[in-house]
Structure 1
């Protein structure tokens, strides 16, 4: 089993912890991670784009000229697509881009993303993360102690003081164990987990 050091909020090592081999020692699968990230980003799309077809634009209620005898091409409406101000052909309409990949694939991709942090040495484990008050500077100071710039911070349960202290820091995201996903893991350079978060992640996803 992978074994990593445990630190307190002063960046002092206070012990070690063994990680679940299935979650933090899995084989890296870039193909599965790509598939799951693509699914995640597709689900974030609003899909509210809309253009008007020929039946929706105003005007064009009558035939612009008679069918025969004018020497011009026959036309049925001045709002046909070939006319200026006419309707769009095959334009985007509201739709959902969401789709799902199998649950097993999502799990394997998550294991791979977690394991990549261990392999790269970018996993930081804290014994606990309790801030005395809501102050962004407390969180900034904590990140500086560990030399973290772009970090995903995960606790077992969201703490209001920590969440409010971290929300205005660029490239830093704070979430609970249930909110861990492949996209956030890959998007952030470092992963910060509390001991309680590790236990919760192993219970939920293993």
Structure 2
């Protein structure tokens, strides 16, 4: 059973937390993690690029000149793809790039990502986290106490608006509730900080 140090907001170790081995100590499946990241990025694409075909471009109803006798190439419309201002051949149209993975595969990918953070020593457990009002200075000081100054993902048990507002002006810091954990954000951070409540919530959701 993996054990991770438990810290308070001053950065002092106050104990250890026994993590669920079925979530934080599994065989790391890099292929599933890669597929989960690709799925996450694909689902983020807007897919709203659009071009007009020759049938959709305005104008071009009259034949530009007669078929024979001018010495020029024959044309039927100025909205042909050969003309400047004409339609686009095989151009992009609005589409949905998103797709889904099987539920078991997604869960195993998240477990693999969490396990990789435990094995690399990038996971820290915070005793509790909460603010009465938004305090960016206190949030920055807390991250400094935990020696996590770079790209940080902080996971709370439930959505906490005060924590989000306290961290949103700090570059490289992202706040997520436990049920929104995803492989991309876990792997994209250098330091993963979970509150004790978030650990319990994650074990409920993903076990």
* TM-score bucket (shorter structure): over 0.9
- Partner residue in 1 for 2:200: 199
The Cα of 1:58 is off from its aligned counterpart by 1.9
The alignment status of 1:116 with 2:116, answered yes or no, reads yes
The Cα of 1:162 is off from its aligned counterpart by 1.4
Q: Equivalents in 2 of 1:187, 1:154: separation in Å?
A: 14
Q: List gaps (5 residues or longer) in structure 2.
A: none
* Equivalent residues in 2 for 1:181-192, closer than 5 Å: 181-192=182-193
* Equivalent residues in 2 for 1:70-109, closer than 5 Å: 70-109=70-109
The Cα of 1:98 is off from its aligned counterpart by 0.7
- Partner residue in 1 for 2:154: 153
The Cα of 1:75 is off from its aligned counterpart by 1.5
- Partner residue in 2 for 1:165: 166
* Equivalent residues in 2 for 1:31-42, closer than 5 Å: 31-42=31-42
Equivalent position SS for 2:35: helix
- Partner residue in 1 for 2:136: 136
The Cα of 1:101 is off from its aligned counterpart by 1.5
Q: Equivalents in 1 of 2:120, 2:55: separation in Å?
A: 57
RMSD: 1.2
The alignment status of 1:28 with 2:28, answered yes or no, reads yes
Equivalent position SS for 1:17: strand
Q: Equivalents in 2 of 1:122, 1:108: separation in Å?
A: 19
- Partner residue in 2 for 1:10: 10
The Cα of 1:194 is off from its aligned counterpart by 1.0
Q: Equivalents in 2 of 1:77, 1:126: separation in Å?
A: 69
Runs of 4+ deviating beyond 4 Å:
none
Q: Equivalents in 2 of 1:135, 1:145: separation in Å?
A: 16
Q: Over residues 9-59 of structure 1, what are the superposed CA-to-partner deviations in whole Å (9 max), with x where a residue is unaligned?
A: 111111111111111111122211111111111111111111111112222
Q: Equivalents in 2 of 1:132, 1:81: separation in Å?
A: 62
The Cα of 1:132 is off from its aligned counterpart by 4.0
